[in-house]
Structure 1
């Protein structure tokens, strides 16, 4: 995955930006067919989700210390460990196997609260994975994947080949700082079909309803490679991962809360804050 100091020295690649579909995409909410939603109001890890990564210090749990709506949220608590600038950081995540035949297009939404500091290290929040062309399934280490994350205190999106090693990867780094000490609504579109185009689409991400731009884009590999990256197309997404996973160290103990996570084949959208939603 991304090495902090190596990336800081890389220049943006001269790739053409992705084509944008005309006009806004309407939101459908959790009632749309095929949409899966988790509000964590069971007070525990929801059914179907299982523990996945667990490295360094901290814990991942559902608790009532902070919630965007209701009483409970998924809490990555007091994460720390490793050395900033070096590979290896705290990772606390859960995973979920999608229903068979989910499809090659995955919209998602989650509300995120981060405190007390914006990490410089690569901090993943959510990813979705799919089998490589010609395959219908397989273990997690054989799957291509899209990721929503932060890096150098800004929002980031990545397309990865199977992990390990997870690269060469297509990296998009925004100029938008991570929202700190407040709830932020993140949405994403992972289009693994991409119509008649020869490759899967680049990831798209929205923050509180506004689409992020990516002034810094590049292919990352360790060691660097001149081999062109090919984003392989998808037939069906099969696996989700949520929580917080840092690929470099984190020296300031940091908490993340994730609430009202949802995925589906259509845009789900951000809701008004709970106090505005009430009549």
Structure 2
């Protein structure tokens, strides 16, 4: 269930070149061999205090407008803005609205049935470990049999194109969409669902992506909600990811495609950030 909006991100990255990350340290930590090895319950100790680490790649409270983020290069039946309609802290938050009534079935009924929008930044090339943390407010759960995409990591490099994305389900659980093209990997669903998100409140969502060595083509990805681990996705394809996207929306809507989402207090680092 590859996010075709990521294709637009790829083309834009190739066109405009690298964007600067928020860190003053440039590539600091991007290829570190630190972090937890695949197959372990990483992040249960030393979980961070919820504050953005000093060497973070991105620290964004969306109070300074665009602040270097790139807007989508194609319209996908959704709007994305930084405004003050609902914030967790400060004066701004990322605000995504997806349109109602878009349906990918029957096939060919719409030229572009997606309802999805993200902002994106280039980041230092992924080494062995990367964590993202954001507070997310959904006005509703994802529709039945549809996944809502929060975060995307991808590589636009020729010969290494591919990506992974963290998705939310109607039951508050998660899925990991893997279009890395690595043999033996693919879409992965959280099961059982014991830790989950709830609509109409702020949820602290953390995503950890890890591999043992920077040359490994597979690793694993973890997700936490409000500090509790929800799932550890195995056999995740790894690429030299160099682009991070945050937003929301549906790649494969089934007609029930209206949603409104706010995202605030985002951080991306090479150590787990935790929740405040």
Deviation digits for residues 168-219 of structure 1, max 9, x if unmatched? 614132514431100000001111x3249965222100000000036xx89x
Aligned partners of 1:37, 1:150: CA distance in 2, in Å? 23
**Equivalent-residue separation in structure 2 for 1:252 and 1:34 (angstroms):** 34
Q: Which runs of 4+ in 1 moved over 6 A?
A: 84-87
2:262 corresponds to 1:239: no
Give the equivalent residue in structure 1 for 2:70: 49
1:269 aligns with 2:268: no
Q: 2: CA distance between counterparts of 1:262 and 1:66? A: 19
1:54–1:173: structure 2 CA closer, same or farther, 3 Å change rule? farther
- When you count strand as a share of all residues, which structure comes out higher? 1
Contact 2:219 2:237 in 1 (8 A): no
2:225 is the counterpart of 1:207: yes
Gaps of 5+ in 1: 3-16, 132-136, 219-229, 272-279
Q: Tell me the CA shift for residue 60 of structure 1.
A: 0.6
- SS of equivalent residue, structure 1 residue 45: coil
- The change in CA–CA distance for 1:73 and 1:34 in structure 2 (over 3 A counts) is closer
- CA RMSD in angstroms comes to 3.2
In 1, the alpha carbon distance for the partners of 2:89 and 2:162 equals 33
Aligned residues: 229
1: distance between equivalents of 2:271 and 2:103? 40
8 A Cα contact 2:139 2:199, kept in partner:
yes
SS at match of 2:173: strand
Give the Å deviation of 1:104.
Answer: 3.4
CA distance in 2, matches of 1:169, 1:81: 28
CA 1:82/1:269 → structure 2, altered by over 3 Å: closer, same or farther? same
Corresponding residue for residue 113 of structure 1: 137
Q: Counterpart in 2 of 1:8?
A: none
Partner of 1:104: 128
Q: Who is 1:95 aligned against?
A: 120
Per the TM alignment, residue 231 of structure 1 is displaced from its structure 2 partner at its CA by 4.5
Tell me if structure 1 keeps the 8 A contact 2:133–2:206: yes
The correspondence for 1:26, drawn from 47, 50, 62, is 47
Whole-angstrom distance in 1 between the partners of 2:167 and 2:59: 20
CA 265–196 in structure 1, closer or farther in 2 if over 3 Å, else same: closer
